[in-house]
Amino acid sequence: MAENFRQTEILTIARKKGQVSVDKLAQRFKTSVQTIRKDLTELSDAGHLKRVHGGAILPAGVANIGYEDRRALNADAKAAIAARVAEDIPENACVFLNIGTTTEAVARALLSHQNLMVVTNNLNIANILSANPGCDVMVAGGLLRRSDGGLTGGMTVQIIRQFKFDLAVIGCSALDPDGDILDFDSHEVTVSQAILERTRASYLVADHTKFTRHAPVKIASLREINRLYTDAPPPPETRALLEDWNTATLTP
């Protein structure tokens, strides 16, 4: 019974933070590192986690984890990233915010901005910014994805192509070591690519867990992004590419 409870708690922590450490878990549960390693191995064998050196991470695959789990995942880091991004978004600008829990955090950080026009294909962002009377909100309509309030499809792309944004803030599901920006839904990727085509400046928001995840569909390369906002330094190989490409990396 105690073992089942501990493993349930370990999964909860992993879903909030994206990863867990053997040493920290041993301290938290006041048990040995061998016991924690056994827990992580069993959770890995069951497909709930993926073992890595010193701990475990959420498993990658061809399907994204659930929306509510993503919303809770590393929430404090997303809020810090969002606050940093909001500092760099001027008033009197036309901004696109796309689907994602980190872009939703950016929307919350913009509630005191004035004279903004925000275009979005995310119904959650539209609802968040409806509380800001100084912000005009336009929804790029399309096919509703009920799981997360996202809108995708040809109609969404057509609406986006009618605009020229001052800047776009986009999220992603994973970042490959070679600098590729990845996602799970090919329809969502098509929309993200249209956004990047129609913006003067592009900001990518991604917490550090995205550097340990994988997804099957490429949106673009970090080479094409002006600024990467994250909560921890990227891995060395990615950091070297960012420097070569003059893609700025900003942290809270």
- 210: its two tokens: 């995205």
pLDDT of residue 63 exceeding 80, the answer is no
How would you classify residue 113: left for phi > 0, otherwise alpha for psi between -120 and 50, otherwise beta? beta
Q: Which residue has the higher pLDDT, 160 or 19?
A: 160
* Beta bridge mates, 19: 57
Pick the range with the lowest mean pLDDT from 7-21, 170-184, 203-217, 225-239. 7-21
- 16: its two tokens: 């909030």
pLDDT of residue 61 exceeding 70, the answer is no
Domains of the chain: 2-57 (1.10.10.10), 67-250 (3.40.50.1360)
Whole-number average pLDDT of the chain: 91
Work out the average pLDDT over 52-77. Answer: 68
Please report the pLDDT score of residue 1 as a whole number. 46
Please report the pLDDT score of residue 3 as a whole number. 61
Please report the pLDDT score of residue 192 as a whole number. 97
Please report the pLDDT score of residue 92 as a whole number. 94
Rg (CA), the chain: 19
Which tens digits make up the pLDDT trace of 77-89? 999 999 999 999 9
Q: Which residue has the higher pLDDT, 199 or 212?
A: 199
- How far apart (Å, rounded) are the C-alpha atoms in residues 140 and 158? 9
Which tens digits make up the pLDDT trace of 94-148? 999 999 999 999 999 999 999 999 999 999 999 999 999 999 999 999 999 888 8
pLDDT of residue 250 exceeding 60, the answer is yes
* Cα–Cα separations (whole angstroms), residue 12 to 57, 73, 219: 12, 10, 30
pLDDT of residue 64 exceeding 80, the answer is no
Which tens digits make up the pLDDT trace of 165-181? 999 999 999 999 999 99
Reported as a pLDDT band with limits 50, 70 and 90, residue 12 is confident
- CB neighbour class for 133 (10 Å; exposed up to 12, middle 13-18, buried from 19): exposed
- How far apart (Å, rounded) are the C-alpha atoms in residues 200 and 59? 35
Q: Which residue has the higher pLDDT, 160 or 16?
A: 160
Please report the pLDDT score of residue 214 as a whole number. 86
Most confident of 14-23, 40-49, 140-149, 215-224: 215-224
List the one residue out of 208, 213, 217, 212 whose CA is nearest residue 249. Answer: 208
Q: Which residue has the tokens 């903004």?
A: 116
Reported as a pLDDT band with limits 50, 70 and 90, residue 158 is very high
Q: Which residue has the higher pLDDT, 234 or 146?
A: 234
